[in-house]
Amino acid sequence: MRLDNKVAIVTGAAMGIGAGIAERFMEAGAAVVVFDINAERANQMAQHLSRSGRALAIHGDVSREADVQNAVARTIQEFGALDVLVNNAGIEVVGQVVDVTSADWDRQLGVNLKGVFLFCKYAIPHLRGRSGAIVNISSVHAFVSYAGNAAYDASKAGMNGLTRALALDHGHEGIRVNAICPGYINTPMMDEWLAAQPDAEATLKQVLSFHPLGRIGTPRDIAEAALFLASDAASFISGANLVVDGAMSVAGH
């Protein structure tokens, strides 16, 4: 699984799953654009990657159209092409519908769903004719709901629907579009969630018990899946949802 001479944009790539994907893509030979709302961390990540290859940090918000247009334009200006788009940037708004504000709802769908729409809208014209690949980082929340996650669940279910539509609309252009649905992954977002629990240690123990494989996932686990779907090894796979959750969902959790 190689991405030699390929150019990839990874959103939310300054930390967590996005950083893991950016590093793995760099190892596989790609030039990587680190797009993130945190400019300082994006720059640090790009500097880290630049020790091994070509990398560029771009600061922006995936839900702002001008920021997305700028990111794609700068990628083409810097590298002359675009081959892979990974829509990874995401946030999680916790709460039941009756408790979530309209602003929270708009922000949740703005980042997790509108951001995917915008990046695909401006990236697809450059992916045409290059056997382009789009990998959307969704969640098991797209089809397995948990109490108090209404907005997040809706955003991820919408992402999976958009993935299917994109695969249908752009397959004739040689563009493959797939989604990865992670379960619990050891990221800063999970750390924040655990810290908000009444008993973080007990919660983590319970979460571990959900997994037949006996552990939670790592960013590297998702990065390997993303590399597979972005590479020629998956040349006949499009419109698929790849679940990467250590068998948690099939165990009924």
- Asked if pLDDT for residue 252 goes beyond 90, the answer is no
pLDDT at 189: 84
Question: Same domain, yes or no, for 82 and 194?
Answer: no
What is the tens place of the pLDDT at every residue in 228-250? Answer: 999 999 999 999 999 999 999 99
Question: Same domain, yes or no, for 126 and 198?
Answer: no
Q: How far apart are CA 250 and CA 253, in angstroms?
A: 7
Burial class from Cβ neighbours inside 10 Å (0-12, 13-18, 19+) for residue 226 reads buried
Split at pLDDT 50, 70, 90, the class of 137 is: very high
pLDDT at 177: 98
What is the tens place of the pLDDT at every residue in 158-176? Answer: 999 999 999 999 999 999 9
Question: Same domain, yes or no, for 177 and 203?
Answer: no
146 is a catalytic site residue:
no
Split at pLDDT 50, 70, 90, the class of 70 is: very high
Split at pLDDT 50, 70, 90, the class of 193 is: confident
Split at pLDDT 50, 70, 90, the class of 185 is: very high
In a domain? residue 2:
no
From the list 122, 146, 152, 184, the catalytic residue is 152
pLDDT at 104: 97
- Asked if pLDDT for residue 139 goes beyond 90, the answer is yes
Domain count, the chain: 2
CATH code for the domain in which residue 32 is found: 3.40.50.720
Q: Which of 87-91, 103-107, 113-117, 203-207 has the lowest mean pLDDT?
A: 203-207
Question: Same domain, yes or no, for 26 and 81?
Answer: yes
Question: Same domain, yes or no, for 178 and 191?
Answer: no
In a domain? residue 140:
yes
In a domain? residue 250:
no
Split at pLDDT 50, 70, 90, the class of 192 is: confident
In a domain? residue 1:
no
- Asked if pLDDT for residue 253 goes beyond 90, the answer is no
Domain that holds residue 197: 187-216
Question: Same domain, yes or no, for 222 and 99?
Answer: yes
Question: Same domain, yes or no, for 164 and 212?
Answer: no
Across the chain, what does the average pLDDT equal? 96
